[in-house]
Each structure stands twice: as C-alpha cells, then as structure tokens.
Amino acid sequence: MTLMVRQLSPTTQGIPLEIYAFSADKRWENYEYVMADIFDHLLAALSHFDLEVFELPVSLGTK
C-alpha cells in the first residue's frame, strides 16, 4: 500500500515530518502493529543520519 512522507516547513525545533501510511489489513490491532513497526524502523535509522527526535512538551507548546 501507499507510504508517503513529506517535510513540513522548518521550525526553531527542527524539520517536522508528516507520515501517511495505509494498510490493506483493516483489522485495527494489525494496523497498530504496522504503524509501530514503521516508527521502530524510523527511530532505529535516526543515528545513521546523525538525527535526533524532538518532542515539544505540551506545557511549553501552549501559551
């Protein structure tokens, strides 16, 4: 199925990614496993490109 990734406009925290992934399997539990597997691969590959994950805490993101 289709997998699409795009970069959003850079921010002071980095470059956000938007990930669209689709699965032919419509069972919710299996879909969750597919999504988890995609993110496991992304997180494992970060160090190969000298990248880091950044998550803005909710308390800092809202004003």
Q: Model's pTM, two decimal places?
A: 0.64
Q: pLDDT tens, 14-62?
A: 888 898 888 888 898 998 898 899 889 999 999 999 988 887 777 765 5
In the prediction, which pLDDT does 6 show? 93
- Predicted confidence (pLDDT) at residue 63 exceeds the cutoff of 60: no
In the prediction, which pLDDT does 44 show? 95
Token pair 């994950």 in the structure block, residue: 53
Could you tell me the residue ranges of all domains in the chain? 3-56
| Torsion (CA) 6, 8, 10, 14 in degrees, nearest 10 | -60
In the prediction, which pLDDT does 60 show? 61
